[in-house]
Amino acid sequence: MRDMIAYCGLDCEKCDAYRATIDDDQALREKTARLWAELNNAPILPEHINCEGCRADGVKTVYCDSLCGIRQCALKKDVTTCGDCPDLENCQTVKMIISDDPDALKNLTGSGQSF
C-alpha cells in the first residue's frame, strides 16, 4: 500500500491541502481555506492549510492531526490503515468515507468489495 493512502483509504496526494503544502502553492492554500471555511462554517485560514499526509511524519491540518476520529481510532488500534482493522466491515466511523468514495474502500481492501 502506498504511504500516501490515509487511514480511511483516501489518497492524500489528491488532497488540496497536501498539494498546496508539497508544491508551496499559496493560491491553492487560499482557495482551499475559503472552500473549507464555507463547507465547515469555521474560521479556516490559508496558514491552516499545511499537511504532509495523514500517515506521514510532518505537519498536518488541525482536523487531520487531532480532530479526525478515523485517524485517532487507527492510531489507538495501532493499524497501518482501517483496512487492517478486523472491525472494518461494521465500522460506523469510516463508513461515510468508504460509502461515498469507492476508491477509498478499494485502497483499503485491494478490491472493489462493498459492505
List the beta bridge partners of residue 16. none
pTM (two decimals): 0.86
Q: Give the residue-averaged pLDDT of 21-25.
A: 97
Q: Grid coordinates standing for 5?
A: 493512502
pLDDT in tens, 27-37: 999 999 999 99
pLDDT in tens, 35-62: 999 999 999 999 999 999 999 999 999 9
Which of left, alpha, beta for 113 (phi over 0: left; psi -120 to 50: alpha)? beta
Q: Grid coordinates standing for 52?
A: 504532509
